[in-house]
């Protein structure tokens, strides 16, 4: 956990109407209950952080939101309409995600990886695609143009023709974000986007997420780096053993003794002492 003055507060955007909601989501795997009656709502222009100890159910919750898992009970809706239990259809409806373990096509170039995401929005008919007619060519040209824009947006223009497997780790994570953005999502779910990054790369990712929010895309972020979360998000949710423990602003969550104890596995007084000692160390 970070001290209250560890980093400047994140710039906040105007929060709009509700866009994504989950009601009473429960996920049971045999005798294991990975999620238990979890509810939340995401508004337009909002960035929400999802934190908790390992095994708390964070990625399972993302899988339920994106149709990868069908919840044992509960529901997920986008703009009030229930989402199908089909990841491709969920993407088509406007929800995109990245993964804890990077899932790029390693033998394809950066440009080709983003084009894969862009093809979700290409609507040419089968005959035009087969014959490579004018409509197909226009659509392909538009897709390549948009891909170039997205690579520039995430700072990877110079790697357009580079194979994904040859990119540095942090750049691979940014490429995965570009591919997700190529689907034109209303909601972007990021699963540990700064894992393995150094401080400079982490800050660059924080600024990139602000830019994504400013484009009109709402964002939900899973991350273990609490300093990153508390300086990024409008609200923070804490999952512990599959249940929603606390929800609130970064300051509310950061100061809640239940979060300190559950997240760090130590009594609050002891953790606070460690925090103050670290802050006072030159």
- At residue 127 the predicted structure's pLDDT band, cuts being 50, 70 and 90, is very low
Query: What is the pLDDT averaged over residues 163-183?
Result: 95
Instruction: Report yes or no on 136 lying in a domain.
Output: yes
Number of domains in the chain: 2
Instruction: Report yes or no on 35 lying in a domain.
Output: yes
Encode the chain in three state secondary structure: CCCCCCCCCCCCCCCCCEEEEEEEEEEEECCEEEEEEEEEEEECCCEEEEECCCCCCHHHHHHHHCCCCCCCEEEEEECCEECCCCHHHHHHHCEEECCCCCCCCCCCEHHHHHHHHHHHHCCCCHHHHHHCCHHHHHHHHHHHHHHHHHHHHCCCHHHCCCEHHHCCHHHHHHHHHHHHHCCCCCEEEEECCCCCCCHHHHHHHHHHHHHHHHCCCEEEEECCCHHHHHCCCCEEEEEECCEEEEEECHHHHHCCHHHHHHHHCCCHHHHHHHHHHHHHCC
Query: What is the pLDDT averaged over residues 55-72?
Result: 94
- Answer yes or no: do 167 and 266 share one domain: no
Residue at which a domain ends, from 149, 164, 184: 184
Instruction: Report yes or no on 209 lying in a domain.
Output: yes
Query: What is the pLDDT averaged over residues 11-24?
Result: 80
Instruction: Report yes or no on 82 lying in a domain.
Output: yes
Position 7 pLDDT exceeds 50: no
Instruction: Report yes or no on 100 lying in a domain.
Output: no
Instruction: Report yes or no on 99 lying in a domain.
Output: no
- Answer yes or no: do 144 and 117 share one domain: yes
Give the mean pLDDT of the chain.
85
- Answer yes or no: do 199 and 178 share one domain: no
Position 15 pLDDT exceeds 70: no
Q: What is the pTM of this model?
A: 0.83
Residue at which a domain ends, from 140, 165, 184: 184
- Answer yes or no: do 241 and 265 share one domain: yes
Give 230-269 pLDDT, tens digit per residue: 999 999 999 999 999 999 999 999 888 888 777 655 544 5
Can you give the residue range of the structural domain that contains 148? 108-184
CATH of the domain at 18: 3.40.50.300
Residue at which a domain ends, from 184, 218, 241: 184
- Answer yes or no: do 189 and 66 share one domain: yes
Give 29-60 pLDDT, tens digit per residue: 988 899 999 999 999 999 999 999 888 999 99
- Answer yes or no: do 127 and 235 share one domain: no
Position 204 pLDDT exceeds 70: yes
Position 5 pLDDT exceeds 50: no
- At residue 165 the predicted structure's pLDDT band, cuts being 50, 70 and 90, is very high
Say what percent of the chain tops pLDDT 90. Answer: 66
- Answer yes or no: do 167 and 209 share one domain: no
- Answer yes or no: do 142 and 248 share one domain: no
Instruction: Report yes or no on 102 lying in a domain.
Output: no
Instruction: Report yes or no on 103 lying in a domain.
Output: no
């Amino acid at each position: 956990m970070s001290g209250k003055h560890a980093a400047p507060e994140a710039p906040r955007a105007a929060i709009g109407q509700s866009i994504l909601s989950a009601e009473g989501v429960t996920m049971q795997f045999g005798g294991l209950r990975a999620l238990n009656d979890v509810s939340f709502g995401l508004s337009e222009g909002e960035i929400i952080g999802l934190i908790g100890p390992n095994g708390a159910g964070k990625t399972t919750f993302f899988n339920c939101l994106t149709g990868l898992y069908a919840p044992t009970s509960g529901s997920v809706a986008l703009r009030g309409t229930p989402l199908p239990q089909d990841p491709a259809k969920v993407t088509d409806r406007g929800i995109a995600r990245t993964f804890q373990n990077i899932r790029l096509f390693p033998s394809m170039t950066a440009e080709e990886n983003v084009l894969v995401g862009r093809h979700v929005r290409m609507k040419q008919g089968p005959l035009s695609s087969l014959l490579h007619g004018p409509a197909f060519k226009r659509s392909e040209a538009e897709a390549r143009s948009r891909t170039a824009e997205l690579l520039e947006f995430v700072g990877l223009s110079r790697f357009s023709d580079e194979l994904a497997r040859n990119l540095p780790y942090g750049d691979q994570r940014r490429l995965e974000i570009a591919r997700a953005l190529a689907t034109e999502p209303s909601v972007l779910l990021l699963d540990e986007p700064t894992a393995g990054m150094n401080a400079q790369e982490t800050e660059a990712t924080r600024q990139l997420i602000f830019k994504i929010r400013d484009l009109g895309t709402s964002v939900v972020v899973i991350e273990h780096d609490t300093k990153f979360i508390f300086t990024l998000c409008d609200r923070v949710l804490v999952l512990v053993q599959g249940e929603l423990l606390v929800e609130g602003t970064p300051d509310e969550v950061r100061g809640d003794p239940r979060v300190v104890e559950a997240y760090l596995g130590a009594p609050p007084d002891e953790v606070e002492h460690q925090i103050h000692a670290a802050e006072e160390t030159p």
